[in-house]
Structure 1
Amino acid sequence: MKFLKFILLCLFSQFTFGQNPYYYNIDRTNGLPSNSVYDIFQDSKGFMWFATGKGLCRYDGTTFKTYTSDNQTSKSGSCISEDSFGRIWYCNFDGYLYYVENGELKSLPQKESRGYIKYSIIKDKLFLMQLNGVIVYDLKSLKPIYFYPLTDINIRSTYSVGSKFYIVGDYIYEIDYPKKIKKHELSEDFKKNLEVPIVQVIKDELFIVSKYSNYYYTYKENKLTRKEFSNSFDFIQNVALTDNAPWLCTPNGIIKYENNKATYYFSEYNVSYIFKDKQQNYWISTLNNGLLFIQDFKNNFIPLDPKPTIFSPYNDQLLIGTENDLIYGLQLNDLSIKTVYKNNSNHPINQIIGNEKNQNIYFTASKFKILNQTNTITKETSTAVKDIKKIDDTYYAVAASGVCGLFKVGNQKSKWDAVFKKYYNVPNGFNESSIFRLNGKSTAFNSENNCIYYATNMGLKFVNLKDVNELKFQNKPLFITNLQAYKNVVYALSTSEELYKIDVNNKVTKVSIFEEHLKERFTKFKIQENSIFLFSTNGIIEYNLIDNKYRKILPLTSDLEVTDVAVIKNEIYFATSKGIIVKNKFKNKEFAKPELIVNEIKVNSVLQNEKSLNDLEYNQNNITVNFSVLSFNPNEKNSVLYKINDGNWNRLEINNRNLILSSVSPGDYKLYLKIDANYKTPIQQINFKINKPFWLNTFFLIYLGLIIIALAYTFYKYQIQKIEKKNQLLLDKINLEKNLNQSKLKAIKSQMNPHFFYNALNTIQSFILTNDKKQAVSYLSKFSTLTRTILEMSEKENITLSEEIKTLGLYLDIEKARFDEDFNYEINIGYGIDIENIKIPSMLLQPYVENAVKHGLLHKKGTKKVTIDFERIFDSLKITIDDNGIGRQKSAELKAIKNKDHLSFATEAMQNRIELLNQYKQQNIAINFEDKLNKNGQSSGTKVIIEIPITY
């Protein structure tokens, strides 16, 4: 009903004016989990916390993070607070407590609930009302440590003051832990009328309000005093203490009650709470429209429909052009609004200026029009005027579509009369002089050098009292969208959003200070008094041309657009898409600077505290730093810079709030984080150390070095021993070859000994004496062939089996000549023996054959015979030398009689040679001797068996 009366009053008075300050609405479209918000709190780090219909959430100015748990009985709640351990608590409307710790929502173990009654945190204790008393919890262990029994069934509210916890029921109960509970009397009037009391503490006095009564109580020093409100309220659902005054939160707005006077705000909202943060911003929670963010209650907001587009000061009012061909007049004395001009063309007014001397208003909507002091249109033309600036009391500079020139409004004599006359055209109802037939966008006049500047589609033109010309920058045309004059210079904004300055000598320079200090691009600017107001997508920035300081004076959101700004006396007026915002130029406080907060640090996805970061293992090298940028300036976006040790600063993506360092090498690190801003910002430093793996530690390296040295020494000794062994083997081989050669030489000597030659020559001599020339020649031929063969074989290590058989045949033929016809020999070659390819050591068999003849057959009477058999057994060659002589034993006895010191060559030299051959050739030549016996046990000869591995 009150709201309806307010609307009727506004309609009757033709006002859409209210006393509300300008606010920013934060709701589900901005990420708020629910538009139903019951409580507001700011923690020690600066984060804002909200108890919503979807649970508890945290806000850093950009992002909402909601904390819920599967074991919640319900999510809606209130009474947010923080304990000394940094945990955030709240109570749901079922009366159960929950807290946020390490990024998770956890529940306090409770056996029962009395329903929603506020708890209190006092130092390191938590006081919680239950069905039959008060439980005191130790906050460190979260375990009950004391219980105060209470039988009062009419408990209605609780609160705390200092170290004491109070309960409002049939009495006021006072608990000063660990003392016993005290109770204080209450009046019957209090018990009767304050069924649901709401308690706030103002200084040292309690302020107690009933939800349904129009009076309240104060309680101090056990004295209860009843007081009346000066206004009546239908329903009070909460009381907040802000700016040392109680604020009554109602379904029809919020009421500041100060000095027994009520001031109403936001009557169209169902308000649940108001909170003032550390940055002196105000937050109002509503039950259906989310949050209202207010920078300053001293700012005024005037809703206006249709949307304002442009300002122009005029007399004692501010002319406001709108988007629907409507002009309002804002009265500067009381901020009331009157309609100056209204038309139904529905065209936006994009240019307006008031001339106080002739009391005319010039503006452009669908046409360019002149409005007189009786608010009547006196003239109009279809010329689309884009900009008009005053030169003197007689002329205005005009930039319009198709024409740029002068517009005459008075009859006083002017220095521009000659220029106007020179370019005067055929009159079309206006006193207009067209200097340029171009599309004009903006114009400005510099009174110091008497130059008028025109921004056209063909570049930046200027005209003075004598000349018309074009201005260029670095010999290139300038395409300008906006021109503004300030004292003796003109500022120009190009189509590429770069700002230029034109001095009195028409020298054009680029203004670099904005590029150096401002991170935001701007598409429009306006000079008012000594300030340049820059219009960016994120806000309006005021740059003071006197002290070169700048500040963001008005943040913008997606649903808030600013089209113009005006400074009149001590007030700054903003034309926005929602209406007119009025701020005091001097009392308007700056928005708080953003702050970087490190939330958590994870190592290999495991949460770590700062102490543990100084002793990380070599494989704990994946570091994730989660941080927040606290900034409660609407639509402000801040990027973050980081660097490691003395490296360069690197920029993270503007919405990225995680710095991930992967596979970091061992070492000591200093990680720096800071907000990228136009001003000096605090730097957050995080130190961490990743230890080297044990195999890279100094002691391990020393130990490893010693092991390597020992191994190297061992390897060195091994190599020396190996070389020595190799040399020894080489020496042994040389000795072996030497011995082998000596053995071979002995074999040659044995076959060419003087006794053999003597016998052979005697045989030849006997043939000659008996005149048996044929036998002598044959014998001599065989002897010479044998001699030559032995000499040739002495040069070879191995000979073919055919060569050996031939040599044996020659030898036996020569020996046969010594005997009578009773000596015979046989050489038998077994099946499968390739005598041309199988090789055996040279002069290996002949000594054994010689022994058979010389020692076995020589002393035998009767038939004498030597048989030599060659057989192949698998990969071995078996050679058998069989004689029917006197045997080895009898032969040894005869030799012993003749020469006691003689040693048989076959028994010593040849055995030694066989061993040398086996060692040198890595072969296995085997020799066996068999003594043959007859039936009587007497010796009947000797058999020598030689086995040689076959090699080709």
Structure 2
Amino acid sequence: MLARLLFFLIPIFYLSQSVYRTELVQYTDGLPSDKVFGTFKKDNFLYIYTQKGISVFDAYVFVPHKDISSSVYFATTDKQNIFLEETGKGLIKLNNVHSKLEILYPVNFRDSNPNNDHFENIFFNDNKVWSTDFNHVKYFDLKTKKQKSFLIDKKNKDLKYNFQFIPSKNGLLMFSKFGIFEWDKSLDKISLVKRQNINSATQLGNDIFVTSPDAWLGKLDAQSIIPKQVLLTTSAKFVQQPISNNLLAFYDEHQVSTFDVKTNKIQTIVQSLETINHVFYDSETGIFWVSTNNGLLKVFKEQNKILSINLNKPVPKIIADIVEDPLGQVWFADQQQLIYCETKQKEIETFPISGTPTRLSIDGQMLYVATDVGIFRKKINDNEPFEKVIMSENYKAKLAKVWDSKIWVLPDSGPIRVYDLLTFKELPTFLNNNKSFFSINLFNDLVTKDDKMWLASWMPQDFGISYFDKKSKAFQQITKIKNNHDSFVADYYNRAAFLQNGNVIFSAYGGWNIVNPDGVIVKSMNTREFKIGNDNIQGIAQDSKANIWFGSGEGLYQFNLKNDKTTRLSKIDGLASNDVTQAFCLTKEDWLYFSSEYNVQKINLKTILRTELINVLKLTSIKANNENLDFGENEVLKFKEKELNQLDFHFSALNFADKDKLIYRYRINNEEWTYLGNEPKISLVKPVAGDYLVEVQVGDNLGNIQPRTLKFKFDISAPFYKTWWFWLLSLLLVAIMTFRFTYFLVQQEKQKGILKKRAKENENKMLRSQMNPHFLFNSLNSINSFIIQNKDKEASRYLTSFSKLMRKILDNSQKETISLKEELEATKLYLDLEAVRMEHKFDYNIVISDDIEPEDISLPPLILQPFLENAIWHGINHKNEKGHLEIRFLRDVDDFDLINIEIEDDGVGRQRASEIRKSSTHKSYGLEITKGRILGLDKKNQVEILDLYNNNSVGIGTKVLIKIMNRHD
């Protein structure tokens, strides 16, 4: 136990200036209640306890704990769990706002002891949750699940007192209005160290600092206590988180301040009209979170890497040009007839000049200034006034550049002027360009290095990049060197600068070009192709890392030559204006100076692109149908598709300082990235069933992507009618039904086929039965005719042939198919009989191609006889001359199994035969019956009858074409 305590007097001095900025977060921004009692950080999230429970804040959204909605006055964390008191419930433990709460010690309003209903000033130490009530300090042991109380003041009836705990060697030191107490861990007892009214206490290193309602601040020592009056408010309380090794923060009801323990100086951070309840300092971000009765105040230092330069300008005028001299000094041309110099000591010196300056240039130790009345110069290392060396009576000078012992002057219009460097006399005939070169074009910039001079111009009839040729003493356009018109980005070039490798870069309206020393364009940057916000590109330069920097009407850009990537700086990064089209200068130390409207700023390019990302990315909340869900880390949430209308995922990089500079993107199941801008939220409307893997990345506005990514999974189950097993069973059922139905159809088709086959057989028999009597009748008539005419021998021979034919017909008619050989035998017998009947009025010829073996060809029986009969009796019979019948058997050229049969006669033709038949009462069915037989046997079978004519269109015969499949029966 401490025997004596000493408080040293600390003389205090207040500082009035402040570099802090404030943002007020209120109920309208999503804060559950404007009455905020305190904050703390856990897992990089900011936890806020208010009149409406406890919530987590990720810099974008507030997510409340759904089961804690009453006032939470006190809360703390051990980095693993959160401990708090909720009015009406008691002492509570939880892991985060998404976890279930555990009531460690409930309130009891039914007993007579009011101390059981309060847990104020909560503090965690050594597995014990400490708190206070009206009369006691107490702890709840998380191991034993028991509570123990120690009496502090039995007469106290006020709960609103501050009680602070600081770990000590023996256990805990406790500071309150009742005095200083110490809890001895080994004895588990509390003893009074000093009866001293203490407002607040905090530890800095090995020292403990305290404040008192008597308005003094002291440092605790092991010797004694000497309170002395100093300049503090009576309610000053320490912020428990030190600012640095030397800096503490404290607050009262309306003000937050810092105290430097070494210099004893106090600086006011922020003042508030609303009552301040609590202040938390976040050492990672440097933010003060000030809890008030009217919202949460965010107080932070401006981290501006873009510095404004105060030139003490008397009248707002544009800075026209900026250059650096060999001494590292930076010169500024003010259109208010002033020249400024920023020295190496960062002091600003001012030099008046008798003219309105336009451009500056350096030659060794001499500064040259082009003005509307002439050219001035002065040494860079003295304070002598400017000397006017060239008078411009009929033009205004835009730029004066020293090169090759001459002063080269670009006028606002007209020819380029050249002056002798020693005499300052003009050399009017030095340049050999024709008059149109000077009258048509407008000249904007000259850059020189060693023996090279380059000119940037506006050339309406050409392109504006030229170089000076010493031999011809004339400026030559680079288009004369190589026809590379497609590589130019414009015809209006305004600035030029040398690159590290000796190339020259020219800025223009529309982009820029890089030209090698030989005048060949080696790279082009088009503003449309690279999505630059504005075509007006003015200043341009290259830094020590070979990056190209250029100003535009929509901000400052960096172009990385290694990957062709652009990065934009704008007002959000600290630019005074997005219009960066005035003066532009990059120093040897990579400081970029530029002017925009009435402001002059500078940037350290070595640090500006450093990211502010803290390599944290976490899931804040998940909403299903606009309801917050509880979830654990790495938990795979399950959803049902039919119950899900919308899923919302909120996440954050937890960068409370520069959230507007962050850019988020996500992808699902390794598909293409989708960019979200600076709103870290994914909304899925009516998501379909499936397993989802979501990956989120965050980068800053400078194009840096932080290494840490956020990955989470969730599953959406389909309704039973969309599940694989349902579809499998359905397909199986359909397959079974299809099989059964198909089997039924196949059986039906088989039965139909059998019936059709039988019907066809019966039909063929019927057809043959119709044909056989017809032929028999005609043959018997012929025999009868021979007998009447007493031609016994002819009748006998005819009858013999007839009997052979009838035997073949009777044999063949019982068969489905016969060989071509058999068909030919019957055919020859038939033709011979018909020839005898007609008294040899015709002859015939049968031709069989070499690739046909008659024994191997199977045909239906009696298919030729009707066509032969028709040719003989309706064609040749009506002819006065002797007729001829030609029968040919050929293989089809496209189908080997298809036999082509041609029957050609030289009779009177079908038209004449038709006229003759009209007078006859006989009607022949054989031809149509046979055609029906042939076509019904196979879909490839064909029958075609062609009429043959002479040159006078008189019928001279008929040709029958039959295509019939070899049936292989």
Alignment of 1:503 with 2:511, yes or no, is: no
* Structure 1 residues 708 and 443: alpha-carbon distance in aligned structure 2, compared to 1, 3 A threshold: closer
Render the CA deviation track for 1:658-708: whole Å, top value 9, x for unaligned.
Answer: 322333333333222223674554433222223343345566567667777
Query: Which structure 2 residues correspond to residues 891-930 of structure 1 after superposition, within 5 A?
Result: none
* Structure 1 residues 82 and 526: alpha-carbon distance in aligned structure 2, compared to 1, 3 A threshold: farther
Match in the other structure for 1:919? none
Match in the other structure for 1:560? 576
Equivalent of 1:168 in 169, 176, 180: 176
Render the CA deviation track for 1:738-790: whole Å, top value 9, x for unaligned.
Answer: xxxxxxxxxxxxxxxxxxxxxxxxxxxxxxxxxxxxxxxxxxxxxxxxxxxxx
Q: SS state of the match for residue 639, structure 2? A: coil
* Structure 1 residues 470 and 300: alpha-carbon distance in aligned structure 2, compared to 1, 3 A threshold: closer
Match in the other structure for 2:690? 667
Match in the other structure for 1:246? 247
* Structure 1 residues 171 and 636: alpha-carbon distance in aligned structure 2, compared to 1, 3 A threshold: closer
Match in the other structure for 1:443? 445
* Structure 1 residues 576 and 568: alpha-carbon distance in aligned structure 2, compared to 1, 3 A threshold: same
Match in the other structure for 1:484? 497
Alignment of 1:683 with 2:709, yes or no, is: yes
- Structure 2-normalised TM-score? 0.53
Equivalent of 1:493 in 479, 490, 507: 507
Equivalent of 2:136 in 120, 133, 148: 133
Alignment of 1:319 with 2:331, yes or no, is: yes
* Structure 1 residues 185 and 267: alpha-carbon distance in aligned structure 2, compared to 1, 3 A threshold: closer
- Structure 1-normalised TM-score? 0.53
* Structure 1 residues 494 and 203: alpha-carbon distance in aligned structure 2, compared to 1, 3 A threshold: same
CA positional deviation for 1:361: 5.9
CA positional deviation for 1:502: 1.6
The 2-side partners of 1:262 and 1:518 are apart by 54
The 1-side partners of 2:291 and 2:363 are apart by 46
Alignment of 1:422 with 2:431, yes or no, is: yes
Query: Which structure 2 residues correspond to residues 623-772 of structure 1 after superposition, within 5 A?
Result: 623-631=647-655, 634=658, 636-652=660-676, 654-675=677-698, 678-681=703-706, 682-695=708-721
**Paired residues of 1:557 and 1:635 also in contact (CA < 8 A):** no
Render the CA deviation track for 1:217-250: whole Å, top value 9, x for unaligned.
Answer: 135xx66677999x97789775551232324468
The 2-side partners of 1:399 and 1:59 are apart by 60
The 1-side partners of 2:443 and 2:226 are apart by 68
Match in the other structure for 1:467? 474
**Paired residues of 1:625 and 1:659 also in contact (CA < 8 A):** yes
CA positional deviation for 1:505: 1.4
The 2-side partners of 1:91 and 1:582 are apart by 52
Match in the other structure for 1:183? 191
CA positional deviation for 1:300: 7.6
CA positional deviation for 1:450: 0.8
* Structure 1 residues 655 and 167: alpha-carbon distance in aligned structure 2, compared to 1, 3 A threshold: same
CA positional deviation for 1:145: 4.9
CA positional deviation for 1:602: 3.0
The alignment's C-alpha RMSD in Å is: 6.6
Q: SS state of the match for residue 642, structure 2? A: coil
Equivalent of 1:600 in 597, 621, 634: 621
Match in the other structure for 2:966? none
Equivalent of 1:590 in 607, 610, 617: 610
* Range moving further from structure 2, 543-552 or 405-414: 543-552
* Structure 1 residues 302 and 206: alpha-carbon distance in aligned structure 2, compared to 1, 3 A threshold: farther
CA positional deviation for 1:573: 6.4
**Paired residues of 2:360 and 2:400 also in contact (CA < 8 A):** no
* Structure 1 residues 699 and 635: alpha-carbon distance in aligned structure 2, compared to 1, 3 A threshold: closer
Q: SS state of the match for residue 647, structure 1? A: coil
Alignment of 1:120 with 2:127, yes or no, is: no
Q: SS state of the match for residue 185, structure 1? A: strand
**Paired residues of 2:199 and 2:212 also in contact (CA < 8 A):** yes
Match in the other structure for 2:768? none
The 1-side partners of 2:670 and 2:376 are apart by 66
Question: In percent, how many aligned pairs have the same letter?
Answer: 13
CA positional deviation for 1:151: 0.9
Match in the other structure for 2:757? none
The 2-side partners of 1:387 and 1:485 are apart by 20
Match in the other structure for 2:956? none
Structure 1: 5+ residue runs without aligned partners? 8-17, 426-432, 724-952
Query: Which structure 2 residues correspond to residues 798-817 of structure 1 after superposition, within 5 A?
Result: none
* Structure 1 residues 722 and 554: alpha-carbon distance in aligned structure 2, compared to 1, 3 A threshold: closer
**Paired residues of 1:125 and 1:139 also in contact (CA < 8 A):** yes
* Structure 1 residues 375 and 391: alpha-carbon distance in aligned structure 2, compared to 1, 3 A threshold: closer
Match in the other structure for 1:609? 631
* Structure 1 residues 300 and 680: alpha-carbon distance in aligned structure 2, compared to 1, 3 A threshold: closer
User: Which amino acid is 1:462 matched to?
Assistant: S
User: Which amino acid is 2:207 matched to?
Assistant: E
Equivalent of 1:330 in 334, 342, 358: 342
**Paired residues of 2:304 and 2:574 also in contact (CA < 8 A):** no
* Structure 1 residues 69 and 676: alpha-carbon distance in aligned structure 2, compared to 1, 3 A threshold: closer
* Structure 1 residues 643 and 252: alpha-carbon distance in aligned structure 2, compared to 1, 3 A threshold: closer
Render the CA deviation track for 1:538-579: whole Å, top value 9, x for unaligned.
Answer: 976667889999988997358733756766675846567897
Query: Which structure 2 residues correspond to residues 292-441 of structure 1 after superposition, within 5 A?
Result: 293-294=300-301, 309=319, 311-313=322-324, 317-320=329-332, 327-333=339-345, 335-341=346-352, 351-352=359-360, 357-358=365-366, 360=367, 362=369, 370=376, 373-375=383-385, 378=388, 388=399, 390-392=401-403, 401-402=412-413, 405=416, 410-411=421-422, 421-422=430-431, 436-437=438-439
* Larger CA Rg, structure 1 vs 2: 1
The 2-side partners of 1:241 and 1:598 are apart by 29
The 1-side partners of 2:86 and 2:409 are apart by 66
* Structure 1 residues 101 and 68: alpha-carbon distance in aligned structure 2, compared to 1, 3 A threshold: closer
State the number of aligned residues.
674
User: Which amino acid is 1:599 matched to?
Assistant: T
User: Which amino acid is 1:651 matched to?
Assistant: Y
The 1-side partners of 2:636 and 2:622 are apart by 9
The 2-side partners of 1:576 and 1:91 are apart by 57
* Range moving further from structure 2, 461-470 or 209-218: 209-218
User: Which amino acid is 1:257 matched to?
Assistant: D
CA positional deviation for 1:490: 1.9
CA positional deviation for 1:46: 3.7
**Paired residues of 1:135 and 1:146 also in contact (CA < 8 A):** yes
**Paired residues of 2:431 and 2:474 also in contact (CA < 8 A):** no
Equivalent of 2:164 in 158, 168, 179: 158
User: Which amino acid is 2:449 matched to?
Assistant: S
CA positional deviation for 1:651: 3.1
**Paired residues of 1:643 and 1:650 also in contact (CA < 8 A):** yes
Q: SS state of the match for residue 462, structure 1? A: strand
Render the CA deviation track for 1:278-315: whole Å, top value 9, x for unaligned.
Answer: 3x656697999965644769998766665784643355
The 2-side partners of 1:160 and 1:290 are apart by 27
User: Which amino acid is 1:469 matched to?
Assistant: Q
**Paired residues of 1:441 and 1:456 also in contact (CA < 8 A):** yes
CA positional deviation for 1:266: 7.6
The 2-side partners of 1:59 and 1:409 are apart by 71
Q: SS state of the match for residue 422, structure 1? A: coil
CA positional deviation for 1:341: 4.2
**Paired residues of 2:176 and 2:198 also in contact (CA < 8 A):** no
